[in-house]
A and B are shown apart, each in its own frame.
Chain A
Amino acid sequence: MPRGTPRPVTGDVSAARPVLDGDELGRAISRIAHEILERTHGGTDTVLLGIPTRGVALATRLADRMSTFEGVRPPTGSLDVTLHRDDLHLRGLRALQVTDLPVDGVDGKVVVLVDDVLFSGRTIRAALDALLDTGRPRAVQLAVLVDRGHREVPIRADYVGKNIPTSLRETVHVLLREYDDRDGVLLGPASGVDAPA
């Protein structure tokens, strides 16, 4: 398993309908970047940690925008949550993804966790455990590109690209140029195997 291989988009993408096109996705990222700058007073002492795989690309894009807007590029990294998941014994084996923290660590920093889709909230719960094992951030915030509802734990996002009401049977596909042929968010019928993640 090569490092950082994105989990392939599951389900039938051709049957999915677009919810955000590439331009809209770009604008959503720009808005979140502005909001992070506002809430963190210019992005000082801020660290963006993406959750593999697509969260890592989103964190990098957010940092690039923040650098364009205010000239300060916060450190970015990736945080793999696999070893902290609560459903390991319920599912097949998951390969580990890359954890790569900024050299200065997270102690005393404002850490913004970045993920593509917020669904059950269990990934973020695992991410909080994984993060707190690496140090003690001053505060932890959450940025997601899509919030599709159906939370199973009391977790909410601080920055949301787009709220998309979904049924449990539907699947949200986030396409990013770093991994896919284009940018966009699609809403498709259930693939049958994709449970809340």
Chain B
Amino acid sequence: MNRHLLSAGDLSRDDALLIVHTAEELARISDRPIKKLPTLRGRTVVNLFFEDSTRTRLSFEVAAKRLSADVINFSTKGSSVSKGESLKDTALTLEAMGADAVVVRHSASGAPHRLAGWISGAIVNAGDGTHEHPTQALLDAFTMRRRLGRLEGLRVAIVGDILHSRVARSNVLLLDTLGAEVSVVAPPTLMPVGVGSWPCTVSFDLDAVLPKCDVVMMLRVQRERMAGAYFPSAREYSRRYGLDAPRMATLPDTAIVMHPGPMNRGMEIAAEVADSVRSTIVEQVANGVAVRMAVLYLLLGGDSS
């Protein structure tokens, strides 16, 4: 394992499988009456969130607490960042306080990489701009493996706002490492420049892809990152790229539907699809805790040298 988790692309196949296997053992602990482990006693984990988050921040907090680490939650609201403190000065403050791990979410792509140069502790990227979100990709892979029993050869379609999605990029990189066949599906305006160099196939036609996939992963249309007009109307987007019940019926019988959350019900995913038995959306949240425990254990569990 590397000292930090900055990109899903940094993980070798062995690293990724080690995280998934470790998460599998840790997931069983979540079924026990006593869920707390003494493993990271005396270690400090800082949740440094410059962007809003429910799932990821809570999930990291629960994961660190289950391993007995001390957790410090930092959000920009109410901190000196609102007085104009720079990322570097914030980092130096954390360094002075002796953080063993810093879980960072930032609206700027690459912020965790910069932090890794300033802080001696382990940096975990919890989402940076439109770049990467490696723990989401890990928990998605873990969820697929639990539901479908394998990752090798799995046909995965990632559908929606690929352009603004850090989840898509991390998933493409990780799933390719793990031997899955990934295709990304989006309107041309929401496809990133250079997607041709990604290790995946590209399609603009959802209906052609659906009958040939084992996993379909719907992405949220990120209106907060959209300054221009990327598609004529929400209704038109939903008609062409939204997953509704008739579209879901064209999937193979065993296929599952995933969504990293938060969802726009009625936009990229219909409510009846989100609540169907094929949907793993709630499972993904539960699995997120086990995967983040595994990441924290593997980064902080050994000696620090």
Is A168's CB within 8 Å of the partner chain B?
no
Highest count of chain A CB atoms <10 Å: which of B17, B32, B301: B301
Q: How far is the CA of A1 from the CA of B1 in the complex (A)?
A: 12
Is B253's CB within 8 Å of the partner chain A?
no
Is B241's CB within 8 Å of the partner chain A?
no
Task: Verify A3–B39 contact, CB threshold 8 A.
Answer: no
Q: How far is the CA of A97 from the CA of B303 in the complex (A)?
A: 19
Is B89's CB within 8 Å of the partner chain A?
no
Residue ID in chain A nearest B17 by CB atoms: A1
Q: Which chain A positions have C-beta within 8 A of B25?
A: 80, 96-99
Minimum C-beta distance from B134 to chain A (A): 18
Minimum C-beta distance from B262 to chain A (A): 32
Known contacts A83-B38, A83-B39; is-contact A91 B302 (Cβ 8 Å): yes
Per-residue CB contact flags for chain B residues 97-125 toward chain A (1 = under 8 Å, else 0) read 00000000000000000000000000000
Residue ID in chain B nearest A129 by CB atoms: B38
Is B190's CB within 8 Å of the partner chain A?
no
Task: Verify A93–B26 contact, CB threshold 8 A.
Answer: no
Q: How far is the CA of A106 from the CA of B36 in the complex (A)?
A: 18
Q: Which chain B positions have C-beta within 8 A of A1?
A: 14, 17-18, 21
Q: How large is the interface on B (under 10, 10 to 19, 20 to 34, 35 or more residues)?
A: 20 to 34
Q: Which chain A positions have C-beta within 8 A of B304?
A: 89
Task: Verify A89–B37 contact, CB threshold 8 A.
Answer: no
Task: Verify A93–B301 contact, CB threshold 8 A.
Answer: yes
Is A133's CB within 8 Å of the partner chain B?
yes
Q: How far is the CA of A2 from the CA of B14 in the complex (A)?
A: 10
Highest count of chain A CB atoms <10 Å: which of B1, B25, B34, B67: B25
Per-residue CB contact flags for chain B residues 264-304 toward chain A (1 = under 8 Å, else 0) read 00000000000000000000000000000000011001111
Residue ID in chain A nearest B28 by CB atoms: A99
Q: How far is the CA of A186 from the CA of B38 in the complex (A)?
A: 34
Quick one: which of A127-145 are within 8 Å of B by CB?
129, 133-135
> Which residue in B21, B32, B42 is a CB contact (below 8 Å) of A133?
B32
Minimum C-beta distance from A3 to chain B (A): 6
Q: How far is the CA of A91 from the CA of B301 in the complex (A)?
A: 9
Q: How far is the CA of A95 from the CA of B298 in the complex (A)?
A: 8
Q: Which chain B positions have C-beta within 8 A of A99?
A: 25, 28
Minimum C-beta distance from A136 to chain B (A): 10
> Which residue in B26, B34, B38, B297 is a CB contact (below 8 Å) of A134?
B34
Quick one: which of A31-72 are within 8 Å of B by CB?
none
Residue ID in chain B nearest A132 by CB atoms: B34
Highest count of chain B CB atoms <10 Å: which of A83, A88, A92, A129: A83
Q: Report the number of A-B residue pairs with Cβ-Cβ less than 8 Å.
A: 53
Q: Which chain A positions have C-beta within 8 A of B17?
A: 1
Residue ID in chain B nearest A135 by CB atoms: B33
Task: Verify A95–B18 contact, CB threshold 8 A.
Answer: yes
Task: Verify A93–B38 contact, CB threshold 8 A.
Answer: no
Known contacts A84-B37, A84-B38, A88-B39; is-contact A96 B302 (Cβ 8 Å): no
Is B238's CB within 8 Å of the partner chain A?
no
Minimum C-beta distance from B150 to chain A (A): 14
Is A193's CB within 8 Å of the partner chain B?
no
Q: Which chain A positions have C-beta within 8 A of B67?
A: 83
Per-residue CB contact flags for chain B residues 7-48 toward chain A (1 = under 8 Å, else 0) read 000000010011001100110100011101111001000000
Q: How far is the CA of A128 from the CA of B302 in the complex (A)?
A: 22
Residue ID in chain B nearest A91 by CB atoms: B303
Q: Which chain B positions have C-beta within 8 A of A94?
A: 301-302
Is A15's CB within 8 Å of the partner chain B?
no
Q: Which chain B positions have C-beta within 8 A of A90?
A: 303
Task: Verify B34–A93 contact, CB threshold 8 A.
Answer: no
Q: How far is the CA of A129 from the CA of B34 in the complex (A)?
A: 11
> Which residue in A83, A88, A96 is a CB contact (below 8 Å) of B21?
A96
Task: Verify B32–A93 contact, CB threshold 8 A.
Answer: no
Minimum C-beta distance from B19 to chain A (A): 10
Seen from chain A, the residues whose Cβ lies within 8 Å of a Cβ on chain B are 1-3, 80, 83-84, 88-99, 129, 133-135
List 29 A-B residue pairs with CB atoms under 8 Å apart, sorted by A's residue number: A3-B21, A80-B25, A83-B38, A83-B297, A84-B37, A84-B39, A88-B39, A88-B302, A89-B302, A89-B303, A89-B304, A90-B303, A91-B303, A92-B302, A92-B303, A93-B1, A93-B302, A94-B301, A94-B302, A95-B21, A96-B22, A96-B297, A98-B25, A99-B25, A99-B28, A129-B38, A133-B34, A133-B36, A133-B37
Q: Which 5 A-B pairs have the closest CB atoms?
A: A93-B302, A96-B25, A133-B34, A83-B39, A83-B37
